[in-house]
Amino acid sequence: MPLVKYSSPFADFDLPGRIFQDSMSRLFAEPNQGRPWVPPVDIKETENELVLKADVPEVEMKDIDVRLENGTLTIRGERKFEAKKEEGGWHRVERGYGSFERAFAIPDTVNPEAVKADYKNGVLTVTLPKKEVAKPRQIKVDVTQ
């Protein structure tokens, strides 16, 4: 007698459970779903300065706040969701929206009086010049024989 796999006659009617499972899978697998938006940041150090670049596309400069207090550089802002009423609807929303905040510890070697911020093409660039005493200097050593 051959073995026949038994399946429930209602297995195909578990649509609500399947939709829930798909939603939960996407929540943990796809970026920015159910999590706050955090702009990516690059930090580079040169001989004379630290340069921080943050990708903040579609954020207006008036919605960005850059502060340096007590050795901490804080960048706050908000990217607003397009609330235009148009025909049709969204099929997918993966980009993050809403408020963001990033904080970075700044070393004592930075001159807080000379910090500059620039915003161009969706990239916020914060330049943190080093103090003169922190810059490397070359000392020539005479060797005698």
Residue 145 has a pLDDT of 72
Taking the whole predicted model, whether its pTM rises above 0.95 is answered as no
Longest CA–CA span in the chain (Å) reads: 101
Look over the chain and give the mean of its residue pLDDT values, rounded to a whole number.
80
Residue 8 has a pLDDT of 56
- DSSP for 44-91 reads EE-SSEEEEEEE-TT--GGGEEEEEETTEEEEEEEE-------SS--S
pLDDT in tens, 18-44: 666 666 555 555 444 455 789 999 999
pLDDT in tens, 56-91: 998 988 999 999 999 999 999 998 877 666 667 777
Residue 33 has a pLDDT of 46
**For residues 24 and 30, what is the distance between their CA atoms, to the nearest angstrom?**
10
